[in-house]
Amino acid sequence: MAKQLFYIHGQFTPEYENFVDLPGNVLVVDDLHIAAPWDDPWIVAGLTSSIIDRLTDNQYAVVLPRVSGDAETALLTEAGVLLSAEPFSDEVLIIDTSLAAPEEAAHRVREHLRSRARHGGADPFSEDWDEEDDEGEETLTARTRAVLHLALQDLSDQAWQEVSTLGDQPAQRSAGGLFGSLPRVTWNQDGPWRRQMARAFDDLAADCSSNAEVEPRSTGEEMALHLGIARAQELKHNRPRLVRDMVAGLPEDRADFDWDACSDVLFQDHDVLMLFDNSLDGIEEPDNEIHQSLGVVNLPPHDWFTAFDPEQARDPDRGFRYP
């Protein structure tokens, strides 16, 4: 690695200086020894981000291997990608800690691990977290459910309007809109695909209104629920009078409007959110190495509406809100 970053007399190469924002200190992570069951790319990414956070307050570059080899080296490579490392060469990945992307990626890794911890196991980032604290506490309280229902209805209205407007035209982030805000792997999907996405909001809204268990049954519903939670937060913040009227008469609970807890508890994982990370382009493809190592499923857009569990699939004859 040193040969790629430095000249023999110790100066940085121009290629390296142009690659990072603030060339200076360098942390090289090139050797890993980790035993099962901790040999997991998410855990290695969490460990690496923790080291980065604690080592120094200065901005510096973190260099990781980008080579095929033994399983532990592959874990470092996968962890680097999860932390938004950029390829510097065929053999090296670099995380530039002076940029925002690695910090956002580290937050995503921590949230993923916390989500897994809530389904069993210890939270590696909290010494005082106690799983018993959450026992018996309803996350989706009556007031939370009501606001989430309103948010999903709002998104459904927007989705169906855009279904009519866009037809089969590609969506564009620059044009705004709901479908333009989805990961770019979906932008070229056609009208029938968007109708299914719009129906995902309707299905989840129906679950909220019927007091059924709110649990996304497909990748499309996972995305719809993520967007629904984000819209519910916006409504609570930006339209307090509307929310106050909506929840009037419903019982209060200390867990009301705990949207972070909703994001943790209502999902088995947050894999679909990786599609927003441009550094992970191609992760939706089954032959992608990171896809295979993480065991993600149904990320290609054509699989978004395939039920995770066929026994819990929606009624295929339920139809659509609009013909």
Give per-residue pLDDT as tens, 114-166: 766 655 554 555 555 444 444 434 578 999 999 999 999 999 999 999 999 99
- Angle at alpha carbon of residue 230, lines to 78 and 300, rounded to 5°: 45
Give per-residue pLDDT as tens, 190-201: 999 999 999 999
Per-residue pLDDT at 248:
95
Position with higher pLDDT, 228 vs 279: 228
If DSSP codes are grouped into helix, strand and coil, which group holds residue 96?
A: strand
Per-residue pLDDT at 68:
62
Per-residue pLDDT at 174:
72
Give per-residue pLDDT as tens, 49-106: 888 877 756 678 899 988 666 778 888 888 888 888 888 888 889 988 877 777 777 8
The yes-or-no verdict on residue 112 having pLDDT over 70 is yes
What are 155's two structure tokens?
A: 């998104």
Per-residue pLDDT at 226:
94
What is the pTM (predicted TM-score) of this model? 0.64
Q: How far, in Å, CA of 17 to CA of 111, rounded? A: 32
Q: What are phi and psi of 217, to 5 degrees?
A: -105, 0
Q: How far, in Å, CA of 259 to CA of 263, rounded? A: 6
Site of tokens 């339920």: 318
C-alpha 235: how far from chain center: 22
Q: How far, in Å, CA of 102 to CA of 153, rounded? A: 34
C-alpha 307: how far from chain center: 19
C-beta separation of 29 from 75 below 8 A? no
Per-residue pLDDT at 126:
52
Please list the alpha-helical segments (H only) found in the chain. Answer: 2-5, 14-19, 41-55, 71-82, 100-118, 142-166, 191-209, 219-238, 240-247, 259-265, 289-294
C-beta separation of 76 from 68 below 8 A? no
